[in-house]
Amino acid sequence: MSSKRLIAPVTERWNEGERDWSFVKDPSRDIVAWESRTGHALPDSYRRFMLAFNGGRVYPRLFRSAVPLERYPFVEPVTFVDPFYPWADVEEYSRGDVYGRGTPPDMLFIGCDPGGLEILMSLRAADYGQIFCWVHSMNIWGTDGNDRIWNQAPSFEAFLDALHDEPDASDYEGWHIPIYDRLAKPLVF
Topology annotation, domain 6-186? SMI1/KNR4-like (3.40.1580)
- Burial of 103: CB neighbours in 10 Å, binned 0-12, 13-18, 19+: buried
pLDDT of residue 73: 76
Domain ranges of the chain: 6-186
- Residues 45, 130: Cα–Cα separation, whole Å: 12
pLDDT of residue 1: 52
Mean pLDDT of 156-184: 95
pLDDT of residue 158: 98
Per-residue pLDDT tens digits for 85-143 = 999 999 999 999 999 999 999 999 999 999 889 999 999 999 999 999 999 999 999 99
* pLDDT more than 90, % of the chain: 83
Give the number of other CB atoms < 10 A from CB of residue 7.
Answer: 25
Please provide the average confidence, as pLDDT, over all residues in the chain: 93
- Burial of 18: CB neighbours in 10 Å, binned 0-12, 13-18, 19+: middle
Per-residue pLDDT tens digits for 68-99 = 988 887 777 899 999 999 999 999 999 999 99
Cα–Cα nearest to 162, from 133, 126, 138:
133
pLDDT at 4 over 70: yes
Q: What single-letter amino acid sits at 80?
A: F
Confidence of residue 12 (pLDDT cuts 50, 70, 90): low
